[in-house]
Structure 1
Amino acid sequence: MATELMYLNDFDVLTGAARVQSVSVDDDGRTDVVLDRTCFYPRGGGQDWDTGAIRGAAGEFAVEEVRLDPEGMVHHLGNGPIAVGDEVSLAVDTTRRVMNTRLHSAGHVVDLAVERLGLPWVPGKGAHYPHMSFVEYNAALAPEETEATLVRIQQAARDVVGAGSTNEIRFMPVSEMGDYCRNVPDNIPTNKPARIVLYSDDFGVPCGGTHVRDVSDIGTLTITKIKSKKGVTKVSYAVEGIN
């Protein structure tokens, strides 16, 4: 049975209660715990996993890594006393979650800036990690246009963050996402509910990751580099206090 993903419905959920469904040993020797529900985000969509603790009557299980399998079950990998049937409390590492959420949300603001500038770029893959933050687009950019485009995207992104806006979560069939999102990928996962997050009231993002509640929570966003090669333009960025 798929794990209930508590973070899909709540921007701020960092704690919760759950029941242990299974306990096994992973290939690397760590304990693999599956719960009936979780607030821990598993790595995916260019965003890193949560860490933290699962606490029960037997003690504390340290969550070191979180994965989502094709059947929709979330695997919490780590070490500590835990058993099937335990009623447990969950606590996500707040500092790590906030960092990953700000970086991830910043990537969507870069995309929003590109859209507001009217650039006909189709978004591709992205990465939102402290050591590597970028969004790629299926678009060509002439070398002489690079610097001016960087300045324009950075200003547009900072305008969005500076204005602030409350994001909104919505669930809907994939067939309806085109009414809200300028780009709906063909590879939207089918092992979790289809969700969009509305940025600045009118920019829909098909995404199952964690997002800031208000865009202003991202902080200062800087476009560090733009590189275009073989029809792909890579926009790298940094968020103040993180990278």
Structure 2
Amino acid sequence: MATELLYLDDFDVLTAPAAVTAVTALDDGRTDVELDRTCFYPRGGGQDWDTGIIRAGDSVFTVEEVRLDEHGVVHHLGRGTVPEGAGVVLEVDAHRRAVNTRLHSAGHIVDLAVERLGLPWVPGKGAHYPHMSFVEYNGEVPGDAEQTRRQIEAEVAQVIGEGSTNEIRFMPVAEMAEYCRHVPENIPTNKPARIVLYNRTFGVPCGGTHVRDVADVGTLSITKIKSKKGVTKVSYAVDGVN
């Protein structure tokens, strides 16, 4: 049975009760714990997984890695002991979640700035890690790359300065084009389909974690823009993170 993904409904969820549905010993010495519901984010969409702990009475299981399989089941990989069938309490590492969320949301803010500037680019893949943060687009830089970098950075600052109240909406993929300028063809089918509206107008099809207000991202710098073979990579950094 698919795991209920609590982080899809709540910008801020870091703890929740759950029940252990399966416990499997792995060849690498770790244990795989499956739950009926989870607030732990599994790696995906260029965003890294959460870490933290699962408590069952006096027993503690340390979550080192989180994965979502093709059937919608979340696997919490780590070390410790929790019995199958037990009621547990989940506790996500708040600092790591905040870092990953700010970096992930920063990528969407870059994309919002690109749209506002009218740049003729189609979004591709992105990476939102402390050691590597970028968004790739199909399309070339129209003119001077440094000037474009400055323009995007200024627009990003404008977006963050305005702030916003972001909104989660669940909807069929077929309806997303009404709210999103780009809907990827490879939206995962192993979890509920949703968009997040930034500034109430800019929709992004996304299953990751997001800031509630873009101001929470902080200072966002565009560190480099490079075009090669029809693909433009916009690299960025968030103050205090990378």
* Equivalence for 2:46: 46
Is 1:240 aligned to residue 235 of structure 2?
no
Equivalent position amino acid for 1:2 in 2: A
Which runs of 5 or more structure 2 residues have no equivalent in the other structure? none
Give the Cα–Cα distance (whole angstroms) in 2 for the partners of residues 72 and 241 of structure 1: 34
Shift of 1:81: 1.3
Is 1:146 aligned to residue 153 of structure 2?
no
Give the Cα–Cα distance (whole angstroms) in 2 for the partners of residues 227 and 5 of structure 1: 36
TM-score (normalizing by structure 2): 0.99
CA contact (8 A) 1:167 1:201 kept: yes
Which runs of 5 or more structure 1 residues have no equivalent in the other structure? none
Is 1:60 aligned to residue 63 of structure 2?
no
CA contact (8 A) 1:157 1:221 kept: yes
Shift of 1:27: 3.6
TM-score (normalizing by structure 1): 0.98
Q: What value does the CA root-mean-square deviation take over the aligned residues?
A: 0.8
Shift of 1:58: 4.6
Is 1:163 aligned to residue 165 of structure 2?
no
1:222 match: secondary structure: strand
2:144 match: secondary structure: helix
Is 1:223 aligned to residue 233 of structure 2?
no
1:149 match: secondary structure: helix
Give the Cα–Cα distance (whole angstroms) in 2 for the partners of residues 92 and 141 of structure 1: 40
Shift of 1:127: 0.0
Equivalent position amino acid for 2:87 in 1: E
2:140 match: secondary structure: coil
**Once the two structures are superposed, what CA deviation does each residue of 1:16-59 show, in whole Å capped at 9, x if it has no partner?**
00000000022422100000000000000000000000000251
Pairing 1:12-91 to 2, within 5 Å after superposition: 12-91=12-91
CA contact (8 A) 1:166 1:214 kept: yes
Give the Cα–Cα distance (whole angstroms) in 2 for the partners of residues 33 and 81 of structure 1: 9
* Equivalence for 2:136: 136
2:65 match: secondary structure: strand
* Equivalence for 1:3: 3
Q: How many residue pairs align between the two structures?
A: 242
* Equivalence for 1:203: 202
CA contact (8 A) 1:50 1:66 kept: yes
CA contact (8 A) 1:58 1:81 kept: no
* Equivalence for 2:122: 122
Give the Cα–Cα distance (whole angstroms) in 1 for the partners of residues 154 and 179 of structure 2: 24
1:177 match: secondary structure: helix
Give the Cα–Cα distance (whole angstroms) in 1 for the partners of residues 128 and 118 of structure 2: 24
Moved segments of 4+, more than 4 Å: none
Give the Cα–Cα distance (whole angstroms) in 2 for the partners of residues 27 and 77 of structure 1: 12
